[in-house]
Amino acid sequence: MSQFCLKIIALIAMTIDHVGLVFGMAGWNLLPLDSSVLRAIGRIAFPLFAFCLAQGWEKTHNRKRYFQNLAFGALASQIPFCMAFDSQNLTATRSEESLFVFSWPYLFCATVAAWGYWRFVLHKRYEHSLILVVLAVLVPGFQWEIKGYWILSENLNVFYTFLMAFFCLYILPHRFEFEKEERLGILIATPVLLVAYGLPADYGTGLLGIVLVAGLCILEKKEHQILFLLLWSCFYYGLLVGNPISVLSCASAGIFILLYNPEARGRFRAKKLFYGYYPTHLLILGLINAGLQCRILF
């Protein structure tokens, strides 16, 4: 099984999950079937995406490009993510007031993130991608509500989870190569960024999403990766969420990882398929949310 096949399976599972969330019992309750089944199917998606990105992280010769793609995905997906999944957008709510504010602590967090990217990824050189990173880390500081409908909220999309995981992985092997002042900067920057962007990001509970991505990158043997995924599934969905069905569904992603053949080459590479599909399908769901709000309220 090629990596392209894994991505297609993950995209299908993710779409099923998101349709279940928006139109199922937790959202508009418009589906004629139990949406919990759809949501359980969706638990396959995140481990497969994490595995594919981990494979790319280990094989790529240009990790700077990896950061740029993830930052672009985070920036492009944040408004659609909030429109689609903010809990207030999944029910008909009316508000006569609108809100547009900026949380100023994010200015400090954005400065730390920009410094870390400029110093450790760009190696003190200026490139236009620095502007992209600054925008991506500033957007989470904004909250934007229009008469009960949230365009931007405090929840962050999954690209921030991947960004934080790869930032930690990028710094870890080189931590002894830096000067003492830079090591101090890393000790300050890493917790700040993990708290500001890792915790509110998708799968951010206890930073466990970041742990899964990092673990799949660090572990080299497929058997170890599958065992790690099984333990992660039991802890996250078993102990924290308390959903045995989701444990089984998430762990079943290990079957597809076992079938993965790194030498397999599909007819289509589609390296950036996920980067485009993720914000696009979220935007569609978000616009449907807005349409349902208007239809019910007016």
Evaluate if residue 193 carries a pLDDT over 60. Answer: yes
Question: Domain span at residue 141?
Answer: 3-297
Kindly calculate the radius of gyration of the chain based on its CA atoms and give it in whole angstroms: 19
Give the count of domains, the chain: 1
Contacts of 97 (CB under 8 A, 6+ apart): 147
pTM: predicted TM-score of the whole model, two decimal places: 0.93
224 or 261, higher pLDDT: 224
Query: What per-residue confidence (pLDDT) applies to 58?
Result: 83
Contacts of 233 (CB under 8 A, 6+ apart): 47, 246, 247, 250, 251
Round to whole Å and give the CA distance between 155 and 197. 9
Query: What per-residue confidence (pLDDT) applies to 20?
Result: 94
Round to whole Å and give the CA distance between 262 and 219. 15
Asked if 164 and 198 touch (Cβ cutoff 8 Å), the reply is: yes
Query: What per-residue confidence (pLDDT) applies to 175?
Result: 62
Range name among 66-70, 131-135, 180-184, 294-298 with the lowest pLDDT average:
294-298
The 10s digit of each residue's pLDDT in 70-120 is 999 999 999 999 999 998 898 877 777 889 999 999 999 999 999 989 988
* Among 166, 261, 272, residue whose Cα is nearest residue 216: 166
124 or 94, higher pLDDT: 124
Burial label for 76, CB within 10 Å (0-12, 13-18, 19+), is buried
Counted residue by residue, the chain has a size of 298
Long-range (24+ apart) CB contacts under 8 A made by 188-196 are: 188/112, 189/112, 189/113, 189/115, 189/116, 192/108, 192/109, 192/112, 193/109, 193/112, 193/113, 193/116, 193/164, 193/167, 194/164, 194/168, 196/105, 196/106, 196/109, 196/140
DSSP letter string, 150-177: EEE-S-B-HHHHHHHHHHHHHHGGGTTS
Phi, psi angle pair for 151, to nearest 5°:
-90, -40
Query: What per-residue confidence (pLDDT) applies to 177?
Result: 65
